[in-house]
Amino acid sequence: MKNGTKRITMMMAMLGVSIGMVFGTAQDIQAQDGTKIAFTSNRDGNFEIYVMNADGSGQTNISNNSAYDAEPSFSPDGTKIAFTSVRDGNFEIYVMNADGSGQTRLTTNTRNDSQPSFSPDGRKIAFISDRDNFNFEIYVMNADGSGQTNLTNNLAAFDFEPSFSPDGTKIIFLSNRDGNFNVEIYVMNADGSNLTNLTNNLADDRDPSFSPDGAKIAFVSDRDGGLSQIYVMNADGSNPTKLTNNGGREPSFSPDGTKIAFTSFRDGNQEIYVMDANGSNQTRITNNPAVDGQPSWGVSPDADGDGVFDADDVCSGTVLPEDQPLGLLKNRFYANEFGDFIDAGGTSAGITVADTGGCSGSQIIEAAGLGLGHRKFGITRGALLDWIAALP
């Protein structure tokens, strides 16, 4: 075992966290109409990244590497997956296309970098690193690996499991900085300021995952004794409510917020399950004697499942709130040049869409009275798709 891996294991032992816990961060995917779940499995002899449909069908190995690959995180538009690998000798962060192609290393540090999580506009990735004095801190970098910046700068504690809020203004993470030898869930501004302990509990609280609307946080706790269970709380830490009774961890909200994927040992082996967001209808979706975990629920660029990303995929979706960042779901929703997002037959941010024939017909977008250079125009499906693809 390499020294770096030993140090990671020692850090986890100090915090009372297993390898599956710390390196099993469920990433919060801020999107709508998700149809894919990325996950980690060792069913082929070593840990690899897989994807499957939300019902558990179509399980496919997409990393196909002899080294350890884990901790998948979908980009908001579903076209990329960030992940951790030791293929080059230590824990580093990579990114690949959602089909596994184009695997590219983003961090090139002699220390350990892991637990990537995309920002909701897809332009940033939060992650952890022990590059500064062998202490794990929360960092952020551009999606191409540039601009790596330490946000927490706390040498007295370990900080890990970062995840952005849906509006991109906050980051939730874990820390033992309060000195009680337990792990708590914290939130801070995306620039590292204004840190707040959300859980304030003597038990271990971990695996935080924002709901897509930002109102709730799913998390894992052993506060009731016995097995760790999945809870949900308000985004300010109030009203924690237990959702499972048979053990669960690594919760990941579905992009529409109605479901939660999670892992559990309840059937004698670590498998992935899905439940309604209120804890009902808990259903196992993997069934393999190997270890399956770390679910990350994201959108599929091929929304209609025909194997081709085309205008019919762009036509699918639901209305997003106003003021969503430019680039969010640009392959699934109509957008204007100022980042206003709308869908076929709906409105958002003052844009009206007239659907004159469903996804098989032309789409007409009318932007009336908005100023700032907005204009009224009609556009065919093909031209609209080309325009969206060219957005930065």
Which whole-number Å values give the CA distances from 383 to 170, 203, 344, 355, 378, in the listed order?
36, 55, 15, 15, 10
Using the structure block, give the residue that is written with the tokens 């024939």: 357
pLDDT, one tens digit per residue, over 298-324 is 876 555 555 544 444 444 433 333 333
Residue, of 254 and 342, whose pLDDT is higher: 254
Place of tokens 């874990």: 174
pLDDT band at 78 (very low <50, low <70, confident <90, very high): confident
Which of the two residues, 299 and 39, has the higher pLDDT score? 39
Question: Residue 188 corresponds to which tokens in the numbers above?
Answer: 């801070």
Decide if pLDDT at 115 tops 90. Answer: yes
* Domain annotation covers residue 243: yes
Looking at the chain, the whole-number percentage of residues with pLDDT higher than 90 is 52
Task: Domain of residue 216: give its range.
Answer: 3-298
Weakest-pLDDT range from 100-114, 141-155, 170-184? 170-184
Statement: residue 349 has pLDDT above 50 = no
Residue 155 has pLDDT above 80, yes or no: yes
Predicted pLDDT of residue 205: 94
What CATH code is carried by the domain that includes residue 38? 2.120.10.30
Please check whether residues 326 and 272 belong to one and the same domain.
Answer: no
Measure CA 160 to chain center: 15
Note the pLDDT tens digit of each residue in 225-247: 889 999 999 999 999 999 999 99
Assigned domain for 304 exists: no
**Contact between residue 232 and residue 277 where contact means Cβ atoms under 8 Å apart:** yes
Among 298, 323, 351, the domain boundary falls at: 298
34 has a pLDDT exceeding 50: no
What is the predicted pLDDT for the residue at 306? Answer: 54
> Is the pLDDT confidence value at 363 over 90?
no
Whether residue 237 lies inside any domain: the answer is yes
Q: Are residues 174 and 56 in the same domain?
A: yes
The least confident of 130-139, 190-199, 363-372 is: 363-372
Residue 303 in any domain: the answer is: no
> What count of other Cβ atoms lies within 10 Å of the Cβ of residue 379?
15
Residues 362 and 225 in one domain: no
What whole-number distance in Å separates Cα of residue 126 and Cα of residue 140? 4
- Of 179, 182, 173, 181, residue with least CA distance to 152: 173
- Kindly state whether residues 197 and 315 are assigned to the same domain: no
Q: Is residue 210 part of a domain?
A: yes
Closest CA to 38 of 125, 104, 107, 98: 98
Q: Which pLDDT does position 96 carry in this prediction? A: 94
Confidence of residue 330 (pLDDT cuts 50, 70, 90): very low
Whether 291 and 316 share a structural domain: no
Angle at 68 between CA 165 and CA 255, to 5 degrees: 25
pTM: 0.73
At residue 156, the pLDDT reads 82
Q: Does residue 162 carry a pLDDT above 60?
A: yes
Tens-place pLDDT, residues 124-147: 999 999 998 788 999 999 999 999
Q: Which of 298, 324, 348 is the last residue of a domain?
A: 298
332-346 pLDDT per residue, tens: 333 333 333 333 333
Same domain, 336 and 281: no
Give the confidence band of 255 by pLDDT, cuts at 50, 70, 90: confident
pLDDT of 2 strictly over 60: no
171 & 137 share domain: yes
Shared-domain flag, residues 218 and 361: no
- The answer to whether residues 212 and 255 touch, using CB atoms and an 8 Å cutoff, is yes
Residue ending a domain, choose from 298, 324, 344:
298
For residue 152, name the pLDDT band (cuts at 50, 70, 90): very high
Rounded percentage of the chain residues whose pLDDT exceeds 70: 67
pLDDT at 343: 36
Are 129 and 265 in a shared domain?
A: yes
- Does residue 122 share a domain with residue 190? yes
Answer whether residue 325 shows pLDDT above 70. Answer: no
What's the rounded mean pLDDT across residues 28-52?
76
For the cut 90, the answer to whether the pLDDT of residue 292 exceeds it is: yes
Residues 204 and 331 in one domain: no
Q: Is the pLDDT of residue 6 over 60?
A: no
> What does the alpha-carbon distance between residue 367 and residue 345 come to, in Å, rounded to a whole number?
14
β-strands 196-197, 184-189: how paired?
antiparallel
> Taking residues 157-182, what's their average pLDDT?
89
Closest to 362 measured CA to CA, from 315, 329, 300:
315
Answer whether residue 305 is part of any domain.
no
Whether 326 shows a pLDDT value over 50: the answer reads no
Count of domains forming the chain? 2
3: pLDDT strictly greater than 80: no
pLDDT at residue 356, rounded to an integer: 25
Say if residue 95's pLDDT is above 50. Answer: yes
Same domain, 127 and 250: yes
Q: What is the DSSP string of 53-122?
A: ETTS-S-EE----SS-EEEEEE-TTSSEEEEEE-TTSS-EEEEEETTS-S-EE----SS-EEEEEE-TTS
Helix boundaries (H) for 202-264: none
